Amino acid sequence: MASVEKTSHEKPLLEISGLKTVFPTDDGIVNAVSDVSFEIGPGQTVGVVGESGCGKSITGLSLLQLVPSPGRIEAGEILFRRNGDDEPLDIAQVSPKSELMRQIRGNEIAIIFQEPMTSLNPVYTVGNQIAEAIVLHEQVDKKTARERAIEMIARVGIPAPAQRVDEYPHQLSGGMRQRIMIAMALCCSPMLLIADEPTTALDVTIQAQVLGLMQELQAEMGMAIMLITHDLGVIADLADEVVVMYAGRVVERGTVDDIFYNPLHPYTQGLLKSIPVLGKTPQKTLPSIPGTVPHPLGLPVGCSFQPRCSERMSECEQMPELAIVNAEAESCRHAVRCWLHTDF
């Protein structure tokens, strides 16, 4: 588990509350993200997990005002403390195309995606692309930017950086391309890195190397990471806090220990049962949660998980609130959205 501990008196870097992001479509309004609330402390790693379509990427894109059109943030706050104790800035109120948002993107909050080939431009050398990211945010000349690009390529562990700098994306392996993406994201020392399935497209050994690199750079640079993945094993290794999403909502959140040793939501429990355990006799099929994620335009009444839930009861016809598990304990941040754990 990650070693960077957030001290309780430190104010969060990012406080997301009641975030709602929608897509108007011909068939109706898709609520991609509904009432999502969680915090990211300085230097902390927050893992966001959940099955495909539960709103992980749209949450990440909302934080940078990068929701693809016609999607839009409809409600909520994204409070960002750019300078420690100063009055936070509400990113949800900043215009996506403004100069301020451009400055925040890359300089202060950076993002990397699953497939580097879609984010890297095939017609420019990787060196040019890193240098461009540097020039965009800092007042340096082209020569300095190129030197910095070589330094960054070396820093992300790619051998022979002085040669690699002049190569094109297709000349590099998948793992190297993802390292280049990390170099581009980190060249301006952001306070927060949003990593959306950064290693899903890579094979297992390369995956471990790239995650190890992210951890190393985090320890060196002190940035916070929002790590989006459907791999709970990765979360167990890297995260301090975990946010579990289902059908656009946070269904449970807490520390890694809360989520792994005391999971309360039947959905979290189901996800945990489907992790293969190293050293145990391999099973032919891992237990998985029966049924499928509902379509966002046909969500069930009440709790979105209830049709798949083995502990369903009559209360589940109403949507439960996300509630702190032990409200009396001051330090408790473990919260769950489930009638089984809600006081009537």
Ligand X SMILES: Nc1ncnc2c1ncn2[C@@H]1O[C@H](COP(=O)(O)OP(=O)(O)OP(=O)(O)O)[C@@H](O)[C@H]1O
Which of 155, 161, 60 lies closest to 114, judged by CA? 60
Instruction: Work out whether 304 is an interface residue with Mg ion (CB under 5 A).
Output: no
What CA–CA distance (Å, rounded) separates 98 from 251?
A: 33
Q: Residue 296: which of ligand X, Mg ion, none does it interact with, CB under 5 to 8 A by kind?
A: ligand X
Interface with ligand X (CB under 6 A), residue from 5, 18, 25, 121: 25
**What part of residues 45-74 is at the interface with Mg ion (CB under 5 A)?**
57
Q: Residue 238: which of ligand X, Mg ion, none does it interact with, CB under 5 to 8 A by kind?
A: none
Please measure the distance between the N-terminal and C-terminal CA atoms of the chain and give it in whole angstroms: 35
Centre a 10 Å sphere on the Cβ of residue 333 and count the other Cβ atoms it contains.
17
Cα angle for residues 306, 311, 312 (degrees, 5° grid): 40
- For residue 291, give Cα distances in angstroms to 48, 288, 310: 22, 9, 11
Instruction: Give residue for tokens 């497209």.
Output: 201
Residue 55 near residue 243, CB atoms below 8 Å: no
Q: Which residues of 172-275 form beta strands (DSSP E)?
A: 192-196, 224-228, 241-246, 249-255
Q: Please say which residue, 21 or 57, places its beta carbon nearer to Mg ion.
A: 57
Q: Please say which residue, 52 or 281, places its beta carbon nearer to Mg ion.
A: 52
| CB of residue 27 to ligand X, shortest distance in Å | 10
What CA–CA distance (Å, rounded) separates 245 from 230?
A: 10
Beta bridge partners of 105: 109
| CB of residue 198 to ligand X, shortest distance in Å | 12
Size of the site for Mg ion (CB under 5 A): 1
What CA–CA distance (Å, rounded) separates 44 from 276?
A: 26
Q: Please say which residue, 57 or 218, places its beta carbon nearer to Mg ion.
A: 57
Tokens of 101: 């948002």
- For residue 285, give Cα distances in angstroms to 278, 291, 293, 314: 15, 16, 20, 32
Q: Residue 32: which of Mg ion, ligand X, none does it interact with, CB under 5 to 8 A by kind?
A: ligand X
**What part of residues 131-190 is at the interface with ligand X (CB under 6 A)?**
none
Convert residues 51-80 into a mask of x (bound to ligand X by CB under 6 A) and - (unbound).
Answer: -xxxxxxx---------x--x---------
Where does this chain touch ligand X (CB under 6 A) — which range of 46-54, 103-111, 176-184, 316-324?
46-54
**What part of residues 179-218 is at the interface with ligand X (CB under 6 A)?**
none
Instruction: Give residue for tokens 């706050």.
Output: 77
| CB of residue 30 to ligand X, shortest distance in Å | 4
Interface with ligand X (CB under 6 A), residue from 47, 270, 296, 320: 296
Q: Which residues bind ligand X (CB under 6 A)?
A: 23, 25, 30, 32, 50, 52-58, 68, 71, 230, 296
Binding region for Mg ion (CB under 5 A)? 57
